[in-house]
Amino acid sequence: MKILVLRFSSIGDIVLTTPVLRALAQQLPGAAVHVATKPGYRGLLEPNPYVAKVHCLTGSLNDLVSELKAEQFDFIVDLHNNLRTRLIKLRLGVKSSSFDKLNWPKWLLVNLKINRLPDVHIVQRYLAAAAPLGVRDDGQGLDYFIPEGQEVDVKTLPPAFHPGYVAVAIGAQHATKRLPLAKLVELCQRLAPRPLMLLGGPEDAPVAEAILAAMKDVAAHSPIRPFTHSPIENGCGRYSLHQSASLLRQASFVVSHDTGLMHIAAAFGKLIYSVWGNTVPEFGMYPFRTEFEKLEVLGLPCRPCSKIGFAKCPQGHFRCMQEQQLDRVWPSV
């Protein structure tokens, strides 16, 4: 049996599909699982032993459809469920199922603050889309496979990191899902004197450098007590995604916004402190089957203001991040 799974983006969402890929490959004898995605996510899927082949939308949709038609799939599991994937299913003309995006309950929560969302993780909704094929939840967590040669040897880090360190994922696609600089500095202060590895993409590197500069300034001018400056490394843009995953895997624990690195950390079963701003865990994308603690400002009448995020706070006050009680990270460490 040849099965096509559709999921075009993004990092976190693709990591969240891995229980479906594993279930299809392991529970259906002889199944060949193919995935269609965008080129930027090929590297996430090709190391996965449960994926037989990756197809990428490199040109027009017509080109991709022609490539997929040649494979003669028996079934399509649509884990994206948008206009593009509906067109693909229509043109391939084979049996299919789609996951429920719950757009209407999400709209109610964002716009009217009425919560009609089921208390179900998105992974379980992904698995429900594959249920017509007879696969079931295997009770395991997420998968993330680091290719050979992409592991980071902790001995290449400064000596202070060798006994252990904290990974702090400072990025997120939308600004309203990220702590502002002053709160990130406060977070790093509270984690001191543990060694800290700041992780993110190249776009996060300037913020990481600003954190390093602020921490040095705090260490030099602390009026209250002698302040031991934490060893901090800026790994933003310095490491590839797989290398960043390796650093997450080896960390003592992880602090992260609602973003892809959070789900990668969950795949390794890490203890995660997940920071929530304009989005909420009720959307069903909290860390899956790993120990975690939510850091969020409850009781705000404006939250959630979006199911994704904005470039800036629509209300102008950004209370969902400015009022974060980051001391909650320290006592339970």
**pTM score, whole prediction:** 0.95
Q: What is the pLDDT of residues 289-306, one digit of tens each?
A: 999 999 999 999 999 999
Q: What is the pLDDT of residues 55-75, one digit of tens each?
A: 999 999 999 999 999 999 999
Assigned CATH for 2-133? 3.40.50.2000
* Domain locations in the chain as residue ranges: 2-133, 154-328
pLDDT value of position 330: 63
Average pLDDT for 99-127: 97
| Cα separation, 302 vs 299, whole angstroms | 9
Residue 328 has pLDDT above 90, yes or no: no
**Residue 224 — pLDDT band, cuts 50, 70, 90?**
very low
Q: What is the pLDDT of residues 156-183, one digit of tens each?
A: 999 999 999 999 999 999 999 999 999 9
pLDDT > 70 fraction of the chain, expressed in percent and rounded: 95
Counting Cα atoms < 13 Å in the Cβ hemisphere of 236 gives 22
Hey, do 2-133 and 154-328 end up sharing a CATH topology, with the first three levels equal? yes
pLDDT value of position 223: 52
Q: What letter does residue 109 receive in the DSSP assignment?
A: I
| Cα separation, 153 vs 298, whole angstroms | 40
Tell me if 215 sits within 8 A of 189, measured CB to CB.
Answer: yes
Both ends of the chain: CA-CA distance in Å? Answer: 48
Q: Which CATH class is domain 154-328?
A: alpha beta
